[in-house]
Amino acid sequence: MRIGIDARYLSHGLMGGVHTYVASFVPAMIELAGDHEIILYADTKRPFELIGLPKYVEVRYLPYRNPVSSITNDLRLKHWMARDKLDVAHFPANFGFAPAGTKSVITLHDEINVMPWLSIVRGHRRDARTIGMMTYLHWASRLSVRRADRILTVSAYARVQITRYSGFDPERITVVHSAPAAEMRRIDDPDAWQSVGERHQIDRPFVLADALKNPGVLVRAWELLSPDVRSQHRIVFFCRRPQVPAAVDDAVRAGYARLLVRPSTQELAVLYSNARAFVFPSWIEGFGLPILEAMTCGAPVIASDRGAIPEVAGGAALLMEAEDDTALAGHLRALLLDPAQADHFRQMGFCRAAQFSWTTTAQHVLGCYEQVMRVNGTNRSEQVLA
């Protein structure tokens, strides 16, 4: 097969879950698909992250001049793919437009982009730039889904939600789980921890949390702990941008929390490896990759019971309702005050995380490519959006 993959996430200097997916999946597919031809499509915004590619992999670079180039390249890519006469075009970042005669595979990570427009913009800032971008992503994703031969998604929960909002045939939506990045592993080196701890002024045992994932409930739960527990521990929040919810700013100003902006993967692995607990009380997740990252590194996990989180945690985490600060405080006490309980969930986490790998993910995705190539005469017009 001639396989084309939209890999522009690897030439934009991005962070986050979709970037981790593309950055981990593409090398795994390259290693697996030596009997096929692979063409990666990047652009010239930033240097491409993958180097030393084998001979059966080519990279095409679309021109990038300004932010509008991302949109024009969405359309230009279709013509470049047509010129390359692909058998399968895979768009691993929620949407993309394959040329006529080329099988189209979309990885749709969750239901957000195909939800009703008002539901999408209600959850974002109301400035013109944000609304414009969300509107474009909504339109592009729904159109891509309508035209796709196969949709891949990352959890059974996401599959149900995508079916609910898109009207796409659920038999043509395949669940292929993600996995932690290869760089995300337990680090027991005391020197590595000393370096990170000193750099970020972390001077006592700590609880780790994502500053954008419902931090308010953690701050409220922290206030329910005894003064002794609070004085002996800190919260360390991390975030890919400096703008964070007010609850995080308040906790940092009060002196019991730290905020780390854009920590490297290596730093994050060190933090996970040394955290007394990782708290992830997210309101909604199509997958919840940080849960597996924490488990891989040995951090006991406390998480909400929303979205795909129970599916991913697989019984290896303490779960709570997303806004239940009392339950969260109880879980914190269990992990911070009972070493045996903490070690139990640490070992459970190691076992659960070991069940996920990018090699397995790539094997399943390659199988989907082969399946869509065996299906002839697909009537894409039958896939009508609700």
Q: Are 62 and 42 in contact (CB under 8 A)?
A: yes
pLDDT at 380 over 70: no
Calculate mean pLDDT across residues 81-103.
Answer: 96
pLDDT band at 384 (very low <50, low <70, confident <90, very high): very low
For the ranges 121-125, 184-188, 322-326, which has the lowest average pLDDT?
121-125
- Residue ranges, CATH 3.40.50.2000, the chain: 2-179+358-382, 190-353
Across-strand partners of 61? 42
For the ranges 58-67, 181-190, 295-304, 373-382, which has the lowest average pLDDT?
373-382
Task: List pLDDT tens digits, range 101-142.
Answer: 999 999 999 998 888 888 877 766 677 878 888 899 999 999
pLDDT band at 383 (very low <50, low <70, confident <90, very high): very low
Task: List pLDDT tens digits, range 224-263.
Answer: 999 999 999 999 999 988 999 999 999 999 999 999 999 9
pLDDT at 277 over 80: yes
User: By percentage, how much of the chain surpasses pLDDT 90?
Assistant: 84
pLDDT at 38 over 80: yes
pLDDT at 181 over 60: yes
Q: Which residue has the higher pLDDT, 385 or 301?
A: 301
pLDDT at 176 over 90: yes
Q: Where are the alpha helices (DSSP H) in the chain?
A: 17-32, 69-83, 117-122, 128-147, 156-166, 190-199, 215-223, 227-232, 246-254, 265-274, 289-297, 309-313, 325-337, 339-353, 358-374
CA atoms within 13 Å, Cβ hemisphere of 356: 30
pLDDT at 377 over 50: no
pLDDT at 327 over 60: yes
pLDDT at 87 over 70: yes
Question: pLDDT at position 198, please?
Answer: 94
pLDDT band at 14 (very low <50, low <70, confident <90, very high): confident
Task: Tell me the residue type at 363.
Answer: Q
The helix (run of H) or strand (run of E) holding residue 264 is none
Neighbours of 79 (CB within 10 A): 11
The domain 2-179+358-382: what is its CATH number?
A: 3.40.50.2000
On the 0-12 / 13-18 / 19+ scale of CB atoms within 10 A, 256 is middle
pLDDT at 147 over 70: yes
Question: pLDDT at position 63, please?
Answer: 97
Q: How far apart are CA 164 and CA 160, in angstroms?
A: 6
Task: Tell me the residue type at 367.
Answer: G
In this prediction the pTM is 0.88
pLDDT band at 15 (very low <50, low <70, confident <90, very high): confident
Calculate mean pLDDT across residues 2-23.
Answer: 92
**C-alpha separations of 94 from 22, 108, 289 in Å:** 11, 4, 17
Question: pLDDT at position 376, please?
Answer: 61
Question: pLDDT at position 220, please?
Answer: 98
Q: How far apart are CA 70 and CA 224, in angstroms?
A: 47
Which range in 66-70, 123-127, 210-214 is most confidently predicted, on average pLDDT? 210-214
pLDDT at 344 over 90: yes
The correct answer on CATH 3.40.50.1000 for the domain covering 190-353 is no
Task: Tell me the residue type at 243.
Answer: Q
Question: pLDDT at position 258, please?
Answer: 96
